[in-house]
Amino acid sequence: MAEPPIAHPINDIHACEDLLGSGISSSFNTSIIESQILNGQTGVVVSYYNQNGNELPSPLPNPYTNTQPNSQIITARVSNSSDLCCFTETSFSFIADPLPSSIQIDDIYSCDNDENGFAVFDLTDVPKELMKGQSGLTIELVDNNNSLILASDYYNFTNLEVNKDYIKAILTNTNTNCSSETIINLLVNDNPKPNQLQIVYGCDDNNDGISEYFDTSNIESQVLNGLTGMTVNYFDQTGKELTSPLPTPYTNSNPYSELITVRVTDNNSTCYAETTLQLQTVTQPNINQPDNLYECDQGNGYAEFDTSKIAQQLIGNQIGLSIEYYDSNDNLLPSPLPVVFQNTEPFSQTINVRVEDTSNPICYSETSFDLIVNELPEIDLEDEYFICNLEPSITLNINSGFNSYNWFYEDGTLISNTDSAEIAEEGNYTITATQIENGITCENSFDFNLIRSVLPEIQQVNFGDLGNNYIEIIAPGDGDFEYSIGGINYQDSNYFSNIEGGIYTVSVRDRDGCGQDSEEVTIIDYPKLFTPNNDGYNDFWHIKGIRNFPLSRILIFDRYGKLLTQLSSIDSGWNGVYNGKEMMSNDYWFKADMGNGRFFYGHFSLKR
């Protein structure tokens, strides 16, 4: 029997990962693995298996690339060549050592003071930045020729390429000897070129050389003129730094003229350049406050205003001034305003005014006036009033706060000159009221009619019965009538359809309370079905409305013509019993003699 060979243990094999964080290396050296495992043995076969038991090439490829990130276990089997079932095994790992983390360093800027494309760069902070959060590293800086930069030159390194250069930082782990590289750009910046600023004027409203109206809101955008990544600072004539951005509006501290130094600094390179802002005061136009204009409402809050005196009120006899008018949405209006001007906003509209010195439009004065539409007196009356012929008159009232009142009948007769009037004659009336407000008198008129209603009277009631059940109430007249067949619910129509048989009190009444009239109508009909089961509902059969026919006689028969019972107008009805015996569910016939010469026949069903 063959002796099992020996699989000598070997150490784990390390290699640096190819890409940061990948855990994969393609540089594992497998050249001495087999000799270490065999240690001089012969007559054996060596095979390799991965962590999943899958057989690998033997010998292993060199260099080898791990397929399991970070660490991959390999099992080596040494078998007797004459008996492959006789073997021993050992294991080792391929360990991919991580690369040092390469921190991205921001581009480094320096100012090109002599504009030749070269500048001095301070690299002393680069190693510190790269070492943040890491230990066990060595760092070397090399220029773009791969020449080592000495640490003593870090603070005064000069770029090799014009305007734009780079250096390379090499980070090496002292334990694994794994290295990574990062590129750091060196950018040479010209000093910013601030845009030259125009003189800014501020209006001096009291001629003291001081203005509180310097508009500095656009200074920063003007001086930058599209430059980005810049900071703007301001200094007064003594070199004292001012607030940035400048307050707007700005008040000058030196009368009449003031110089401010504007410094533009590149945020990345700290390179800066300066220019000057000059503030100069000018005299502001003096204007007066015009009067508000008032007019009466000519419809929906609109009116026509006389604006002929506005310009004179604003500037008097001053010359060299221009006037502009704007609505509340800053839309420019004609100047001068039309003499007859209609407001575009109902009831109240503000007109904004701007007066400029034509020789210096930047300095201007502003004011406004209002166009106010007085509401007309509100007359709260109906278009029509109705009174009964029996009523002598009605009294109408409107708001008592107006200045004058006139009530006229259609023939021109003055009925009243107060806030109330007694109206008696049928016909057309006009009420006119006036209200004095804001120094003007506004008048409003209203026309209405008085109609006398005739008492309602039922002239005729048409109706149908025995299945064609309806009631139609005929009541002529010019009143505003409504109709009912029960005296509770009223409707506009005088026609009632699909009603049950029975005795009805039909009514007509005037909506305005001018009386009513009523009559009794009997609609003859009979149930087509009844259920005499003593549940208190539909237990008796009888002709509806029969009580108004005291001489009536109703005969009930079975299907064979046998007389079962006889009913009078005062009976409760038939309960479905004959000779003390409940009749079965079936159809039954009847003959009705109304006692007034009217006969009719029919049949109905009894169900239990």
Same fold, 384-453 and 529-606: yes
What pLDDT score does 364 carry? 85
Domain extent listing, the chain? 13-97, 108-189, 200-283, 293-374, 384-453, 460-523, 529-606
Q: Which fold has domain 13-97?
A: Immunoglobulin-like (2.60.40)
What phi and psi values does residue 111 have, to the nearest 5 degrees? Answer: -85, 135
Banded model confidence at residue 476, pLDDT cuts 50, 70, 90: confident
For 54, the token pair is: 């899958």
Residue showing tokens 């940061």 = 20
Rounded-to-integer distance, Cα 141 and Cα 127, Å: 9
Q: Which fold has domain 460-523?
A: Immunoglobulin-like (2.60.40)
Banded model confidence at residue 2, pLDDT cuts 50, 70, 90: low
For the stretch 12-36, pLDDT in tens is 999 999 999 999 999 999 999 999 9
Which residues are CB-neighbours of 291 under 8 A, at least 6 positions away? 309, 313, 369
Question: Would you state the CATH architecture of domain 293-374?
Answer: Sandwich (2.60)
Question: Would you state the CATH architecture of domain 108-189?
Answer: Sandwich (2.60)
What phi and psi values does residue 221 have, to the nearest 5 degrees? Answer: -65, -35
For the stretch 85-115, pLDDT in tens is 899 999 999 999 999 987 888 898 888 867 7
CATH among 2.60.40, 1.10.3470, 3.30.70, 3.10.310 for 200-283:
2.60.40
What phi and psi values does residue 132 have, to the nearest 5 degrees? Answer: -55, 125
For the stretch 383-435, pLDDT in tens is 999 888 778 899 999 999 999 999 999 999 999 999 999 999 999 999 999 99
Q: Does domain 529-606 have CATH number 2.30.30?
A: no
Rounded-to-integer distance, Cα 342 and Cα 327, Å: 12
For the stretch 237-271, pLDDT in tens is 999 999 999 999 999 999 999 999 999 998 877 88
Stated pTM of the model: 0.41
Question: What's the whole-number average pLDDT of the chain?
Answer: 92
Question: Would you state the CATH architecture of domain 384-453?
Answer: Sandwich (2.60)
